[in-house]
Structure 1
Amino acid sequence: MVSIFAVAGIYSSRITAITGNKVLIKSPPEPNGRTEGGSGKGKYLIYWPHRPQRNNAFANYARDCYTDAKYQTERCKTFVKHQLARYIDRNASYPSDSSLCKADTGNIRIDTGLLDSHWDLGINAPPPGRIRFRHVLHCAPLSFDGHVWQENLMDSESSLLFSFYDYGHRRSGAVGNQIPMMNYTFAEADNALSLIYEDGWWVHSFAKYDVWSIAATSKRLDGVGPWTPIEGLQQDDSDVTIAFMSTRNILYSDSVDDPWFAAHGKGIYLAGDQNFQTYTADEVASPLGCTTQVQVCSNTQCSRRTGLLDMLSVGARETLIFPGEMSEEQRNFTVGFTRFFTSSAVDQLFQTLGGETLLERCSLNSGLQVGLPVNQWQLEVEHWSATLLASIQGTVIDYETGPSDPLLLPYLPRPQTKQQNTAHTNFSLLGLCITFSIGALILTAETLLECVYVRLLWKGRDFHQYQRLEWCVNGTLQLQRLAHEQIGCGQWMQCDEDVPVVKDGGSLALLDLGDPKHLRLRGREEGKGEEGGSSSSSSGYSDGLEGMESELESVVGCARVSLMHLDFGISHDAGIQTGAAAAGRESVSPTSEYRVLPSSVVYGPIDDLRDT
């Protein structure tokens, strides 16, 4: 029985252990069947300013929460999972032409594997309606060989040296206009160190990081978009993005061997306690190539891998190709799920945040950057990946809760989802019901067993009577009853049960404070005082008995106690010494030293004892 209660005590604690703060959000239906949309001027004036704010929030969340658990803050409990799973390969090869990369290996590939829309994102749906998805980001620093040239651009008053980077031609305007293609991808003015001096002072207001990007779809949608990558960059099953980072007059405290942040040019000396050498970037701009690939699975089959921009450019219904037939409902749900990838394109991250996407900007002060590790670019890509995954998590919540600005509603359709919220707490209702039910059964059984066993069986003759009465009388209430009744206070009932009861009109004893260090109970009537306290032992046995009676009556005050026999240490066989035999001894008072034998105490009138 003890082991059963021990096991029950251990597992009952799990009722509170499995509590959480996940809440289910239920949004009102979209009015008039409205779905994601919006175009024209309103899209640029309303929706586009909202994107940088959210991307900045996602980047901050990624920096705080896609780290070790011990460094996470309270804000990391916003989503169902504080971070989505990732598999990072830091020694990957480039997916296509390796001659375009600075190294054949040592590149980075981040694959989420198949994530579940219910367990990982909290989208509330039955198992047949759940979606699994995959996001793959693959990046490598690109080589400059044969892709960079310099040219002076002049106007009527001055000329400035520019570096041109050619990784495919691009248009300078929107797709579909008549602006011709340009024969380069990106152009940046060379750093002129003389520009950062003014009257001998180092002017650092121009020193900052900047990231500019351009992206293209896969070969399946060749020609869609403003940029046509060179052969070897564009893939069949993924889109491609190039990020150009310019350092803009940043000085490094040490030389940097990182392939994307490479800095070995000799810079100026800084005045201070001691002068030291600084370094400048090797190139005006440094390109980094990335491919993005996604895959969506229903409960029965997975789509073919495709580029993320393919879905965003022409729609998921045309680009998500499944090997088998799907019902219209399944396809609509699958296609609708892809809207959560809207903000997970890496080029849109650069377009909204630019140089703010870099982690190393946090250690840039007054134009001076401390030395960087050789794998700094990989740390940056990992941060971008975390930001993109956080954007998927956050977009799900944004779609569900809705924006604070009602003008954004046309761009944010909403399903039903779960979210963590510290304002609410979940608990196991089933566990509580089981606990209360079992507890009620135990209490009911205990009451019935006590009624049957104690009131019926124990009342029988010779059925463990002594054990039952001993157990009963040692109870707290019965011990208190014995103390009061022993000095004659109160008339008691139910003296053989758990709870004794004093009859109506009865009074209990008071606390005697005569000796605070030796408290006793006394009756409510005052004592009658000591009588015969100086009687000699020579007065005989009866005189001593009368003196003892008076002494006891003055002590108890509530009842008259008679003694059948007192033991003064005098042998009864020798008789009682009187007269001269006792003259040579000191007089002994009957109350000086004596003990009352338990077997000789009886209750009854004093007169009856005197007659004996």
Structure 2
Amino acid sequence: MSIAQGDVYTGMWTDWSKNNQVLGSTITLTSSDSRLLAAFLALFVSLSVSYLWLLVVYSIHRARYKITTGKCRAIVRQQQVLLKAGLTPASTTIRLVRLYWAYRFTPFAWKQSWLWISISAVSAASSVAAGLFSSKIIDSSLYINALTQSSNCGYVSLLGVSGRVNDSTIMAFNQQRATLVDSAATYARDCYNSTSDKSQCNFFPSTTIPWETNWEAECPFENICLGPAVRLDTGLLNSNSLFGINSPVEDQIEIRKITTCAPIIQKGFTEVRSDGIVQYFYGSSPSSNATKTLDTLTSNLTYAYTMSSSFYDSGLPPERNLWSPISKMNNTEGDGTVIFISSNNVRFTESCDDPIFSAHVPQDGEGFDWYEADNLAGVLGCLEQVSGCFSIIYLSRRLLFRHANVQITNAKYQVCNTPSNTCSAIGGLRNKFHEATGKMLLTPMQAGTANVTANVLGQFSRIPIVTNGNARHLVASQSQVVDEIQLPLPSNQWQIEVQFWHATVMSLIQHSLLEFMIGPNNAALQKYIKAPITSEERAVCKRQRVRISQGFANVSSLGLFFTIGLGTVVIILALFLDNIMGCITRFSKGDEQKHRAWIRDDVLHLQRLAYTQEKAFGPRWIATDDNDIPSVEDNSFLDPIVDPQEVKPDKIENRLSVDSLMDVDGTP
């Protein structure tokens, strides 16, 4: 599944998947902006490291001041000069090593060198590590978390729209829903497998929505099941970590979905008429007392599976349901579905003992034998239940206390709020969400999240949307050969089908939540979007978290601000080091001498001293030990410094001249 770049939010936000506001603070940028930021950070970190090294060598220079006040070894004084030379850590390391090498045969050379070489080498390595760290601030990996933003947030509704809805709009609406179901089924087939590594499986915040399976569960209906039922229990599903509704802990909700299915007895509930019509009486529909009517003749002419279902919503009055189940199937603790799977004239290469796909009727083929289905249809009943958990968060003295506990009553799990002693019991979707939001004290954002989630679940979280008329979503059909030939099926094929339907529903919840947040892909349906009403529901529209793989990068706000903040402080301290220390040393004579020693070891001052000591007369230097930059009075000329052994004695005094002693043309 993909998302348009225009539907991705760029800017600062908090990624609550990290459960911490500071660590989760994130800035999403486009790829081009992230590259500019990466280049800036590389330059900034390099500059910051160079100035940090200046502070380090200043500290070392001050620490060594005491041993340089009197006579000391030449290597010590030369090391002091190298520290003040303004070299990079790597260059300083090289120069210190070369200095040691020059004195390697003298006593104490290694003792006087190893510590400073080590410090400079570690600093050089740290500068490289800082550069690598700065690159980690920007996450441009294959998949990054991002928020969606769209003006089309809402669900598509053709009810109550102004004007007449034409047939093409209805077809587009049905096609949109069918495409969504097909996408969810494909995702479930490809990704609800721990060994899958397909790229499309990394789009949602959680690749799969987990559940636990009980293969020997009790029948959800009254003594009407063929053997044990299969029960699929998701446990509590967090709206943030699993559904990607990006909210802090106090605004999160948790829901639980349980699906229990079992093959249903047909004897006593099926009537075969003389004209080949077969009727199933598991409850009435608005137009008939029979739940389902099948034609044997039509079935014999059909060489593929067909599937249909009838559904009742326990939260609606009977007259508003399209199926009124018989008392044995009317379990008011959930929403019920009865599913009819017809094998029709599909030919099984081997007999099948599965109660839904049962095939033991042998037939002679042209060169091979096959088996036909025992029944015109297999009947499967499912009960779907939900439960909600809404954690009450109290803020007191800046401490968050979470009050929630889980009770077990008659093997039914309930999630309760301790202070109010109210529970969201297991039951039908509509009833339980109304009960939870009506009885439990929720934060406004919890209520908004619950309403949005209930709306999406009400449309896309039930098995009928997968099973009604969608025989292509049968796992058994995936092992067919040219439609009518069915390869061998296991005796628990119905359990495999239920598992896949449940996985498809879980995947459909993920897909439909995203579609709610960004709107349908079909532009023709966008004018039929019903936008959220409350401000909290509209806020939920901006909280959907997805994983995207192209066009964007995430920046850690903590890492970025820490790097820029610390680097700025280091640069300011280094730039104004002499000024700052000059003010500080006014109150301490010892510190003043240390700082003056630092200034005197500057290369410009060493040059000044070289000229001053070489010739007693000449230009006057305008400099003291308090000035970091010495200068010559009256813009005087300086000859090169020459080793006295390289010139004749009568020429030495001519090596230093000043422009004040000459005319403009050079005449004295």
> Could you tell me the TM-score, scaled by structure 2's length?
0.56
Of 480, 484, 491, which residue of structure 2 is paired with 1:364? 480
Correspondence 1:430 to 2:562: no
Runs of 5+ unmatched residues, structure 2: 1-118, 393-416, 418-422, 533-540, 579-594, 604-639, 649-668
Q: Matches of 1:6 and 1:138 in 2, distance apart?
A: 60
- Where do residues 306-321 of structure 1 align in structure 2 (5 Å cutoff)? 306-308=427-429, 317=434, 320=436
Q: Matches of 1:259 and 1:421 in 2, distance apart?
A: 44
Write the letter of the residue equivalent to 2:159: S
Correspondence 1:124 to 2:262: no
Match of 1:402 in 2: 519
Q: Which has the higher helix share?
A: 2
Verify the 8 A CA contact 2:254 2:390 in the aligned structure 1: yes
What secondary structure, in the 3-state scheme, does the structure 1 residue paired with 2:329 have? coil
Correspondence 1:384 to 2:516: no
Q: Matches of 2:205 and 2:448 in 1, distance apart?
A: 25
Q: Matches of 1:452 and 1:64 in 2, distance apart?
A: 73
Match of 2:159 in 1: 39
- Where do residues 89-488 of structure 1 align in structure 2 (5 Å cutoff)? 89-97=214-222, 99-103=223-227, 105=228, 107-153=229-275, 161-172=276-287, 181-182=288-289, 184-190=290-296, 206-218=302-314, 221-271=317-367, 275=368, 277-300=369-392, 301=417, 303-308=424-429, 317=434, 320=436, 322-325=438-441, 331=447, 333-341=449-457, 342-351=459-468, 353-366=469-482, 367-403=484-520, 404-411=522-529, 413=531, 415-416=541-542, 417-423=544-550, 424-435=552-563
Q: Deviations over 1:209-229 (max 9, x none)?
A: 111100112287444312221
What secondary structure, in the 3-state scheme, does the structure 1 residue paired with 2:304 have? coil
Match of 2:191 in 1: 65
Verify the 8 A CA contact 2:354 2:490 in the aligned structure 1: yes
Verify the 8 A CA contact 1:47 1:408 in the aligned structure 2: no
Match of 2:175 in 1: 49
> How much has 1:445 moved relative to structure 2?
9.6
Verify the 8 A CA contact 2:356 2:377 in the aligned structure 1: no
Q: Matches of 1:6 and 1:232 in 2, distance apart?
A: 74
Q: Matches of 2:185 and 2:260 in 1, distance apart?
A: 19
What secondary structure, in the 3-state scheme, does the structure 1 residue paired with 2:219 have? coil
Q: Deviations over 1:78-99 (max 9, x none)?
A: 22222112222222222342x2
Q: Matches of 1:408 and 1:400 in 2, distance apart?
A: 12
Q: Deviations over 1:535-574 (max 9, x none)?
A: xxxxxxxxxxxxxxxxxxxxxxxxxxxxxxxxxxxxxxxx
Verify the 8 A CA contact 2:385 2:429 in the aligned structure 1: yes
Q: Deviations over 1:343-364 (max 9, x none)?
A: 112112223x520121221221
Write the letter of the residue equivalent to 2:425: R
Q: Matches of 1:604 and 1:325 in 2, distance apart?
A: 98
Match of 1:87 in 2: 212
Q: Residues 441, 228 of structure 1: CA spacing in aligned structure 2 closer, same or farther, 3 A cutoff?
A: same
Match of 2:46 in 1: none
Correspondence 1:22 to 2:118: no
Write the letter of the residue equivalent to 2:504: T
Q: Residues 141, 29 of structure 1: CA spacing in aligned structure 2 closer, same or farther, 3 A cutoff?
A: closer
Q: Residues 17, 89 of structure 1: CA spacing in aligned structure 2 closer, same or farther, 3 A cutoff?
A: farther
Write the letter of the residue equivalent to 2:251: G
Q: Percent identity?
A: 24
Q: Residues 123, 330 of structure 1: CA spacing in aligned structure 2 closer, same or farther, 3 A cutoff?
A: closer
Q: Matches of 1:371 and 1:411 in 2, distance apart?
A: 46
Match of 1:545 in 2: none
Deviates more, 1:367-376 or 1:293-302: 293-302
> How much has 1:418 moved relative to structure 2?
1.8
> Could you tell me the TM-score, scaled by structure 1's length?
0.60
Q: Matches of 2:157 and 2:255 in 1, distance apart?
A: 23
Verify the 8 A CA contact 1:308 1:345 in the aligned structure 2: no
> How much has 1:238 moved relative to structure 2?
0.3
Q: Matches of 2:348 and 2:556 in 1, distance apart?
A: 57
Q: Matches of 1:94 and 1:268 in 2, distance apart?
A: 38
Q: Matches of 1:8 and 1:144 in 2, distance apart?
A: 75
Verify the 8 A CA contact 2:315 2:428 in the aligned structure 1: no
Verify the 8 A CA contact 1:221 1:310 in the aligned structure 2: no
Q: Deviations over 1:334-393 (max 9, x none)?
A: 323311111112112223x52012122122122111101222211211111111111111
What secondary structure, in the 3-state scheme, does the structure 1 residue paired with 2:460 have? coil
Verify the 8 A CA contact 1:18 1:428 in the aligned structure 2: no
Q: Residues 411, 286 of structure 1: CA spacing in aligned structure 2 closer, same or farther, 3 A cutoff?
A: farther
Deviates more, 1:364-373 or 1:161-170: 161-170
Q: Matches of 2:487 and 2:375 in 1, distance apart?
A: 18
Verify the 8 A CA contact 2:315 2:429 in the aligned structure 1: no
Verify the 8 A CA contact 1:304 1:321 in the aligned structure 2: no
Verify the 8 A CA contact 1:219 1:234 in the aligned structure 2: no
> How much has 1:308 moved relative to structure 2?
3.0
Q: Residues 370, 127 of structure 1: CA spacing in aligned structure 2 closer, same or farther, 3 A cutoff?
A: same
Structure possessing the higher relative contact order (Cα contacts under 8 Å, 6 or more residues apart):
2
Deviates more, 1:45-54 or 1:361-370: 45-54
Verify the 8 A CA contact 2:437 2:450 in the aligned structure 1: no
Write the letter of the residue equivalent to 2:545: K
Q: Deviations over 1:130-171 (max 9, x none)?
A: 322222211111122212221123xxxxxxx12222212222
Q: Matches of 2:438 and 2:425 in 1, distance apart?
A: 6
Q: Matches of 1:73 and 1:452 in 2, distance apart?
A: 67
Write the letter of the residue equivalent to 1:407: L
Write the letter of the residue equivalent to 2:304: K
Q: Residues 331, 397 of structure 1: CA spacing in aligned structure 2 closer, same or farther, 3 A cutoff?
A: closer
Q: Matches of 1:63 and 1:102 in 2, distance apart?
A: 28
> How much has 1:9 moved relative to structure 2?
5.3
Verify the 8 A CA contact 2:259 2:384 in the aligned structure 1: yes
Verify the 8 A CA contact 1:140 1:289 in the aligned structure 2: yes
> How much has 1:408 moved relative to structure 2?
3.8
> How much has 1:255 moved relative to structure 2?
1.3
Verify the 8 A CA contact 2:144 2:548 in the aligned structure 1: yes
Match of 1:177 in 2: none
Verify the 8 A CA contact 2:152 2:526 in the aligned structure 1: no
> How much has 1:7 moved relative to structure 2?
14
- Where do residues 588-607 of structure 1 align in structure 2 (5 Å cutoff)? none
Q: Matches of 2:152 and 2:138 in 1, distance apart?
A: 35
Q: Deviations over 1:300-342 (max 9, x none)?
A: 256333313668xxxx64x656544557775455323311111
Q: Deviations over 1:485-532 (max 9, x none)?
A: xxxxxxxxxxxxxxxxxxxxx9xxxxxxxxxxxxxxxxxxxxxxxxxx
What secondary structure, in the 3-state scheme, does the structure 2 residue paired with 1:71 have? coil
Larger Rg: 1
Verify the 8 A CA contact 1:216 1:224 in the aligned structure 2: no
Verify the 8 A CA contact 1:116 1:131 in the aligned structure 2: yes
CA RMSD of aligned residues (A): 4.1
Match of 1:594 in 2: none
Write the letter of the residue equivalent to 2:179: Q
What secondary structure, in the 3-state scheme, does the structure 2 residue paired with 1:407 have? helix
Deviates more, 1:439-448 or 1:383-392: 439-448
> How much has 1:457 moved relative to structure 2?
7.2
What secondary structure, in the 3-state scheme, does the structure 1 residue paired with 2:333 have? coil
